[in-house]
Structure 1
Amino acid sequence: MKRKRPLRPKKPYIATPDQVRITRDAHGANIDYAEENVSGVHLVLAPEKLAAMADEDILDVHNRCLEAQQASADSFEWVAVEVPPGTPQVKRDRRTGQLVPRGDVLRCQITHVAGEDGPVAIYIDDEEYSLREFGEILSMYAGWGMRVAFVPDDEVHEEPVIEVRKPKRGR
């Protein structure tokens, strides 16, 4: 029987008073959505300011924060850095010992191997990583998105042409 995984929580969104429940604590306000599986928010506010605010005022601050975050995200232009071929793409952090990518792009090959960590291994710079180790490398970007483009193993250094369409039958 396949184990059911929990759904990824949805991000908070601009809400109306009937969509949230607001509670207060010593450090601010907690905003919990009525809709299931939406992440709650802890809004830190000065105690004297919080005491003078109605729930609608707290919700207004919350909504303005979300609008400001979205405006910042909309104006930010992300440029993914790819380390040049021949330079190590992965290193072990001196402080934590964790495997981390040196750039924002990983050129990899996938191979079949029998072993404790599963049926595949990932090669980066001719170094073999188990799926667990590969997950450790990816964990630096927890909370980010990721696109994976599969290319022939001798073309990992090239940006592939991408066509958005339904796959052909049998693929």
Structure 2
Amino acid sequence: MNEKATALATFGAGCFWGTEAAFRRLSGVVETSVGYMGGHFENPCYLDVLSRITGHAEVAQVCFVPEEISYQTLLDVFWTIHDPTSLNRQGADRGDQYRSVIFYHSSEQQTIAQRSKTELDRSGRYDKAIATQIEPASPYWLASEEHQQYFEKQALKQAASPH
């Protein structure tokens, strides 16, 4: 069997449920999960992160096939699913756990992410500067099962409930 090589990408763009949902539907993405990255606390749970004591961001981790979808395409999606000019806030969600952040897994990803951010900043698309942080990937802590594919689970619950 000739399996194609995969790579990881990790993005924080506000609440991780919507971030994960946006990437799950893309061709070339083979798996997604939600969790926490960028903090200083071992094995945090949702309530730990919500309390703002861990320093973690809510993130979606994306396993993708670079031959089928480029890292730049993933970045293009990332930029469109949230407001990258908003510091520590997306919509009604406030706190550093909702920050806009790209965690790179290689020097190539770092270069592509920096270039993409600079191009977006210069494009004039936003009135404010891009606040997105670009940081090296750090330990990834998987969120509990109830948070994985959250929107899909909610749709199934609604479909199964009597009307």
Task: Classify the TM-score, shorter chain.
Answer: under 0.3
Higher strand share: 2
User: Could you tell me the TM-score, scaled by structure 2's length?
Assistant: 0.21
Higher helix share: 2
Which is higher, the Rg of structure 1 or of structure 2? 1
Bigger relative contact order, structure 1 or 2 (CA pairs below 8 A, ≥6 apart):
2
